[in-house]
Amino acid sequence: MKVKLSKLCACLLFCWCCGCSQSASLIPSINSVHHEYGESVHEQNYHDQHLINITYPKSQKTVLNEEIQARIAYHRQRFEQEYKHASTPQLPELNIDYQSYIKDDRYISIKLDVFSSTSQPQEQIETILYDNQKDCLLSLQDVMSEEALNLLSDMAKKYFQNHYPDECYTRQFAVHIAPSAHNYELFVLRKDALVFYFPSGTLFDYGVSWEVPYEDLADYIDMEKEETAVFVPYQDVLNEPIKNIDPNQPMVALTFDDGPTRKYTEAILDCLKENQASATFFVLGSRADDCPDLLQRMVLEGNEIGNHTFSHKQLTTLSKENIEEEIVATQESIHDVTSTYPSVIRPPYGSKNDAVMECAQGKKIVTWTIDTEDWHSKNAEVIVNKVIKDVKDGDIILMHDLYASSAEAAIILVPKLQEMGFQLVTVSELYEYGKNDAGKIM
């Protein structure tokens, strides 16, 4: 099994230690507080026998609120039973705090950190995964297949053996790293990664967390896709990541035609991701199968895939029946790989006639407003200058992810355009914000 462990960068979010102190400061000290969802509510209940401090997120979602309240009630009840029998010289305390994460417009994760000190100081973690689209709670089994659990266990084992070389050969470790759902039930879906929590007394005597970037899961899907199910079912994470597009600021759409290609499309995707930018890839149906992982990355990372026909024929020379074939076959080959249908079409050479318009069946036909002629110059500097010289709000920039020079130009252009104040969005986003109709035929 080949897994890119080196790329996992599975860093510790925090590490807390039980038993070294008996104060409430045992609550995991987290450098950055993530309150991405809900309104923070704080309740304090102090009297001479105990202290209760609870902070939790409240939202419009009844199902989620009720679950949070139920978990809090459970800990509160347990605490109240315990402190009555406690013979501690200190004031018994219950502290509950939280982190909340929005993965995208569908998944919301809540992590509750529970600390109680009665006779014994205790730390516990609760995680809740809420499906904002279906208005229900999800468990690990809902977002992962059983095969994925085996792989996950293997990856976690390697990670911890690398990072805690002296502590991973205990019976305790073997039990809690095993591929059972229970061992991996504490997790959150962040924007960029799945994070698993292993509280104190599970893997080690202290709590640790383990972070797996989604891109590593995407790589895996491609590498072993015949034999293993998808990690997080692809259909479930198709939603556009949340983007902060300011409709009042200038925006342009970079577009790349004729790909994907392993070498250049991947480099462009890396650059877009690094700069939190989006682009549109007008993919050939005949090439969709070449790099399915790259197409999946496009969607998962918030880019758009457009239809550039199946075999790159000039549509205006074809019969209506053949035009339809070119378009439909491409829609299907892209759907096979990504579970999404493109909503934009760019006819090869930008050439269209009435028959092409009819065959588009409501999908937008998109051309461009800046032609970099990258196929002609094959020179990154020339391409960059051509864009920088003319670019204005609402432009659609034509390039091809077929050439090293185009990829090089894209790597220069993405941060450069951002520096110039342009937001890099997809063509559909450009239309959504009413910025441009120039490249749109219908």
Active site residues: 257, 400
Under DSSP, is residue 143 helix (H, G, I), strand (E, B) or coil?
Answer: helix
Per 3-state DSSP, the chain is made up of helix, strand and coil in percentages (nearest 5) of 40, 25, 40
- Nearer Cβ to Zn ion (216/257): 257
Could you give the C-alpha distances from 34 to 108, 109, 129, 213, 431, in angstroms and in order?
12, 11, 15, 17, 33
- Among 367, 255, 237, smallest CA distance to 304 is for 255
Instruction: Give the per-residue SS3 of 85-130.
Output: HCCCCCCCEEEEEEEEEECCCCEEEEEEEEEEECCCEEEEEEEEEE
What is the total count of residues that contact Zn ion (CB under 5 A)?
Answer: 3
Residue nearest to Zn ion (CB): 257
Distance in Å, CB of 406 to Zn ion, minimum: 12
**DSSP code per residue over 373-434:** -HHHH--HHHHHHHHHHH--TT-EEEEETTSHHHHHHHHHHHHHHHHTT-EE--HHHHHHTT
- Sign of the torsion formed by the C-alpha atoms of 354, 359, 363 and 365: negative
Distance in Å, CB of 155 to Zn ion, minimum: 39
Judged on CB neighbours under 10 Å (0-12, 13-18, 19+), 2 is exposed
Q: Please name every residue paired with 16 in a beta bridge, in sequence order, or none if there are none.
A: 207
- Nearer Cβ to Zn ion (130/310): 310
Radius of gyration of the chain (CA): 26
Distance separating alpha carbons of residues 35 and 113, to the nearest angstrom = 13
Distance separating alpha carbons of residues 136 and 129, to the nearest angstrom = 9
- Nearer Cβ to Zn ion (284/425): 284
Distance in Å, CB of 69 to Zn ion, minimum: 56
Could you give the C-alpha distances from 231 to 142, 178, 180, 315, in angstroms and in order?
11, 17, 15, 39
- Nearer Cβ to Zn ion (98/368): 368
Q: Is residue 326 part of the contact set for Zn ion (CB under 5 A)?
A: no
Dihedrals phi, psi of 145, to nearest 5 degrees: -85, 170
Q: Is residue 348 part of the contact set for Zn ion (CB under 5 A)?
A: yes
Q: Is residue 285 part of the contact set for Zn ion (CB under 5 A)?
A: no
Which region among 12-20, 22-30, 346-354, 362-370 touches Zn ion (by CB under 5 A)? 346-354
- Nearer Cβ to Zn ion (240/258): 258
Query: Could you tell me the two tokens for 350?
Result: 């930008």
- Nearer Cβ to Zn ion (104/258): 258
- Nearer Cβ to Zn ion (219/373): 373
Which region among 13-21, 125-133, 341-349, 424-432 touches Zn ion (by CB under 5 A)? 341-349
- Nearer Cβ to Zn ion (38/348): 348
Distance in Å, CB of 400 to Zn ion, minimum: 7
Distance in Å, CB of 407 to Zn ion, minimum: 16
Query: Could you tell me the two tokens for 441?
Result: 């035929």
- Nearer Cβ to Zn ion (257/374): 257
Distance in Å, CB of 353 to Zn ion, minimum: 17
Residues 247-266 that bind Zn ion (CB under 5 A): 257-258
Distance separating alpha carbons of residues 207 and 127, to the nearest angstrom = 15
- The identity of residue 337, as a single letter, is V
Distance in Å, CB of 308 to Zn ion, minimum: 6
Which region among 269-277, 343-351, 361-369, 418-426 touches Zn ion (by CB under 5 A)? 343-351
Distance in Å, CB of 402 to Zn ion, minimum: 9
Residues 98-157 that bind Zn ion (CB under 5 A): none
Distance separating alpha carbons of residues 53 and 343, to the nearest angstrom = 50
Which region among 4-12, 67-75, 340-348, 362-370 touches Zn ion (by CB under 5 A)? 340-348
Distance in Å, CB of 374 to Zn ion, minimum: 11
Could you give the C-alpha distances from 344 to 115, 294, 327, 362, in angstroms and in order?
52, 19, 11, 9
Which region among 51-59, 344-352, 380-388, 417-425 touches Zn ion (by CB under 5 A)? 344-352
Angle, helices 292-300/262-274, rounded to nearest 10 degrees: 20
CA 61-66-70 angle, to 5 degrees, is 155
By the criterion CB under 5 A, which residues form the site for Zn ion? 257-258, 348
